[in-house]
Structure 1
Amino acid sequence: MPDYSLYLVTDENLDLEQLKFVIKEAVAGGVTMVQLREKHGDVREFIQRAMVVKALLMETGIPLIINDRVDVALAVDADGVHLGQSDMPVAIARQLIGDDKILGLSVENEQQLADAQHLPVDYLGLSAIYPTPTKTNTVYAWGLDGLEKAAGESRLPLVAIGGLNESNIKSAMDAGAAGVALVSAICHATSPSDACQKLRKLMHAD
């Protein structure tokens, strides 16, 4: 069972050196999963960045998840793929990547959550818990009450996404999330390593 608890989603605006710095620091700080997110559409560059991140995660046991692009995940033999509602259908993605890879799906409302329970995915990204500047097209915010309700209804682990930081990460875990996905709180920290250590302590605080 993968550890979804401290789930880093990379910021596509980082240059390669910044990306390497963030990944190395996040690994040192105790991140448990890394999703490489690239929205600019340059597949060659996406593959190049994925190869770099994969090399940094080698021997750490931390899975590399590719956002949206099954072809890139296959090209670099990543540990998994995370799909959105408008990406490749999950049944086809599962056929392509095989049964031993991690497959995640974003769900943005209660109907999608219900539909996803019967799909061949390993976890769901519950998006967005709070509105956030990194996701400008949010139509629905679950809030903590929505997260708690969803966790009670889902047979699949839920990773909470959107607007999460030091101030609310504990509340998200208490509401039933298997993990929290973070961009800014790690990528934009002066010391991503210190940020990860602090976030881990907060998540597991009594």
Structure 2
Amino acid sequence: MSLIKSFPYQLYLVISEEDCKERNFSDVAEQAILGGVDIIQLREKNASDLDFLDKAICLKEITDKYKIPLIINDNIFVAEKINAFGIHVGNNDIQPSVLRKTSFQNKMIGYSIEYLSQLENNETILSDYLGVSPVFKTQTKTDTVTEWGLEGLKKIRELTEKPLVAIGNIHFKNAKAVIEAGADCIAVVSEICSAENPQKAAFNLKNEIIK
């Protein structure tokens, strides 16, 4: 079973150095936290382990300062080295059932849902939250299988009581609809990372979803 008993997060930032363009990604993360981000995932798909680790150490200084959970995307080495709050894995990554037998037995594990059939497997049972990915297609992640849309999100909500983190082209204008469709939390990349004012963008999103 999953070991995290609650998921008290509403606004989830997925960040990478590349997503922040010319700006310091840790500065963007700090501004986002000040604006209302509850939890952050570092996703560095193209970085070497050591480069990923350097970035994670830098970011963890910020998240520890504000007592914000830091999740590492699909890199056990980095997650263990920095004692991350948890790890997020996809359908083709190392599975939650394997992670629960390692140092992640008491850590948060997120698991991306690309097929409805995944809701019936043991990996879902052993995960703490499910990433519904993507709700809407996005340029920041092109290797996805199913574009769920609001109806797909509603269907997943009907089939599981697990916390749902929705991600994929979510922005200020559709955030409320995504929550109303069944998401417990929205995850964003570009809406904050590409914003002229990340703190204001996070503040606006947070206040839109908690209305």
Amino acid paired to 1:201: N
Alignment of 1:61 onto 2:67: yes
What residue is the counterpart of 2:175 in the other structure? 169
Q: Is the 8 A contact 1:162 1:182 kept in 2?
A: yes
Amino acid paired to 1:157: P
Matched position secondary structure for 1:152: helix
Q: RMSD between aligned alpha carbons?
A: 1.7
Q: In structure 2, do the counterparts of structure 1 residues 130 and 184 end up closer, same or farther at CA, with 3 Å as the change threshold? A: same
Q: Is the 8 A contact 1:107 1:124 kept in 2?
A: yes
Amino acid paired to 2:48: D
What residue is the counterpart of 1:196 in the other structure? 202
| Deviating more after overlay: 144-153 vs 117-126 | 117-126
Q: Is the 8 A contact 1:106 1:126 kept in 2?
A: yes
Matched position secondary structure for 1:40: coil
| Deviating more after overlay: 143-152 vs 182-191 | 143-152
User: 1:100 offset after TM fit, Å?
Assistant: 2.6
Match of 1:153 among 156, 159, 181: 159
What residue is the counterpart of 1:3 in the other structure? 8
Structure 2 Cα separation of the partners of residues 135 and 40 of structure 1: 12
Corresponding residue pairs, total: 205
What residue is the counterpart of 2:149 in the other structure? 143
What residue is the counterpart of 1:49 in the other structure? 55
Structure 2 Cα separation of the partners of residues 125 and 191 of structure 1: 26
What residue is the counterpart of 1:80 in the other structure? 86
Kindly provide the CA deviation profile for residues 39-61 of structure 1, in whole angstroms up to 9, marking residues without a partner as x: 11411010111011111111422
| Deviating more after overlay: 135-144 vs 26-35 | 135-144
Structure 1 Cα separation of the partners of residues 123 and 92 of structure 2: 18
Q: In structure 2, do the counterparts of structure 1 residues 112 and 4 end up closer, same or farther at CA, with 3 Å as the change threshold? A: same
What's the % identity of the aligned pairs?
38
Amino acid paired to 2:55: R
